[in-house]
Amino acid sequence: MPSPFPGMDPYLEGYLWPDVHHRLATQFSRQLAPLLRPRYVARLSVYFIGDSVPAHELGILCPDVEVVWPQQPPPEAMPAGAGVAPAVEITPAPLTLPLAVPLQVRLVSVEVRDVAGNQLVTSVEIISPTNKREPGLTAYRQKRDELRMSGVHLLEIDLIRRGTRPPRADRLPDSPYLAMLT
């Protein structure tokens, strides 16, 4: 079904974003590769960033482990002498507190590297919702500052409408999307 919003799809900012983010980075890398040869190469770089927003609020659930319960045989198939433990009454806990477990969000950027020395020349960052809220915003700004201090060109592509923009420029245009090259 096509998006009811011309020119954008707000649904991509939710649980679909990790897939969109990875596919965009992959496509950028594919399209850059023939333009960069033979002196440079485009590579995907995967990194993880902590996000304190609960996973259920993001709509992202990525199980690491699945618990599977074996099926019990029907009662008539139980061997003779097998007993049933007496029922134990379980008292509910007097206080239940939600446990905030930081979610490790997987992000991908495109790195343009010099073939001769494997030197990082340009980093293409597709801004994620995680980069636009704390603690990811501070971590991303630190990464951006480190790249700029080391002389690496940075192309930031912000397709996310909500959240705080990572660039600290006061005179950014009032626009829903932003691409910035430094």
What pLDDT, on the 0 to 100 scale, is given for residue 100?
A: 64
* Cα separations in angstroms, 11 against 38, 70, 130: 39, 38, 16
pLDDT tens digits, residue range 88-144? 788 887 777 766 667 788 899 999 999 999 999 999 999 998 898 888 899 999 999
What pLDDT, on the 0 to 100 scale, is given for residue 169?
A: 59
- Where does the pLDDT of residue 170 fall: very low under 50, low under 70, confident under 90, or very high at 90 and above? low
- All domains in the chain, ordered by first residue: 10-53+99-181 (3.90.1570)
Report the C-alpha gap between 113 and 182 in whole angstroms: 16
What pLDDT, on the 0 to 100 scale, is given for residue 25?
A: 96
pLDDT tens digits, residue range 32-80? 999 999 999 999 999 988 887 655 455 544 555 556 666 665 556 556 5
What pLDDT, on the 0 to 100 scale, is given for residue 23?
A: 93
165, with CB counted inside 10 A (0-12, 13-18, 19+), is middle
Report the C-alpha gap between 133 and 105 in whole angstroms: 13
How much is the mean pLDDT over the chain? Answer: 80
What pLDDT, on the 0 to 100 scale, is given for residue 44?
A: 96
Residue 174 has pLDDT above 80, yes or no: no
Across-strand partners of 104? 50
What pLDDT, on the 0 to 100 scale, is given for residue 81?
A: 57
pLDDT tens digits, residue range 6-28? 666 666 777 788 888 999 999 99
The vertex-180 CA angle with 120 and 167, nearest 5°, equals: 95
The 8-class DSSP code of residue 72 comes to P
Residue 83 has pLDDT above 70, yes or no: no
What pLDDT, on the 0 to 100 scale, is given for residue 72?
A: 63
What pLDDT, on the 0 to 100 scale, is given for residue 117?
A: 95
* Cα separations in angstroms, 53 against 79, 106, 151: 50, 14, 33
HSE at residue 51, side-chain half, CA atoms within 13 A, is: 20
What pLDDT, on the 0 to 100 scale, is given for residue 176?
A: 80
